Amino acid sequence: MKHDEFKIFPSGVAGITAVGSDTRHVFSRHTHDQFGIGVIDRGAQKSASGRGTVEAGAGDTITVNPGEVHDGAPIGDDGRAWRMLYFDPPLIAQAAGDLSLGRTQNYEFSRPALTDAAVAGCFGRLFLAVTQAALERNPLRSEELLLTLLPMLLAPRPMVPGGRAVANGVFTAKRLIDDCPTAPITLADLAQVSGLSRFQVLRGFVRATGLTPHAYLVQRRIDLARRLIAAGTALAPAAAASGFADQSHMTRIFVRKYGLSPGAYAAAAAAA
């Protein structure tokens, strides 16, 4: 790939998106609504994660969980390149259920960056199988490799002790945003639906998600815009349908979080 390039590869497996990026962009704090596994192919980066700041260089594997707040900045002047696979949560939950023999589907990636040639090699074979399956229309190899890779990365999600009433209230407030991210939601609305004070909502939201309620709302709106654009919706209608004031507002947020313009993303999605 060339410098400052983003590509969406054809994927032959439902629930898996394959992308590649070569960029110097400094990503602001954001989240994804999918699980992500990738390998740094060139350069290095430093990023925040749910377990603190981590660094990853060429050959290292990187992971991200849905809703995990992270950012990313290159180490050095030449940027970095990576390949990523993003997995819809039901696909990972099903695989986790298989791995635990049905005992639980509540798993997460516990290591945001790791140096392990076996893991990186398995990822490379999975990435190739996912993209080749788009031509061969045979996902069997991808399924085998996914169930080989995941045990190297997944760990049971720990239970968070204490504060159950606040945690439940924050979950309810979060769900209000998730259900309708385009609505003009106020802190008072979140407090009312959660049974918490506005201060409890604010503090609990930051603890649970790493984002303020407003930042989380903006993230959910840009997630919606990205899905609409990937499905072929024109930029201005996508901005309006996602709750942004106008296309330029959506574009500013999109570039800051994803490192490319909505138009470039639309072109990459159309080419996949």
Listed in order, the ranges of the chain carrying CATH 1.10.10.60 are 164-271
The CATH-assigned architecture of domain 164-271 is Orthogonal Bundle (1.10)
pLDDT of the residue at 158:
63
pLDDT digits (tens, 9 = 90+) for 98-135: 887 777 667 889 899 999 999 999 999 999 999 987 77
Q: Is the predicted pLDDT of residue 173 greater than 60, yes or no?
A: yes
- Per-residue pLDDT, averaged over 68-74, amounts to 91
Q: Is the predicted pLDDT of residue 62 greater than 70, yes or no?
A: yes
Is the CB of residue 145 less than 8 Å from the CB of residue 125? Answer: yes
Listed in order, the ranges of the chain carrying CATH 2.60.120.10 are 5-156
What gap in Å lies between CA 1 and CA 15, rounded to an integer?
Answer: 24
Q: Is the predicted pLDDT of residue 222 greater than 90, yes or no?
A: yes
Q: Is the predicted pLDDT of residue 162 greater than 60, yes or no?
A: no
Q: Is the predicted pLDDT of residue 161 greater than 70, yes or no?
A: no
Calculated CA dihedral for residues 188, 194, 199, 203, nearest 10 degrees = -130
Q: What is the mean pLDDT of the chain?
A: 89
CATH number of 5-156: 2.60.120.10
pLDDT of the residue at 2:
61
Local confidence band at 163 (pLDDT 50, 70, 90 cut-offs)? low
**Which range, of 1-5, 116-120, 165-169, 177-181, averages the lowest pLDDT?**
1-5
Local confidence band at 80 (pLDDT 50, 70, 90 cut-offs)? very high
Percentage with pLDDT > 70 across the chain: 95
pLDDT of the residue at 3:
63
Is the CB of residue 50 less than 8 Å from the CB of residue 108? Answer: no
pLDDT of the residue at 235:
96
- Per-residue pLDDT, averaged over 185-212, amounts to 90
pLDDT of the residue at 1:
59
Provide the whole-model pTM.
0.82
Percentage with pLDDT > 90 across the chain: 61
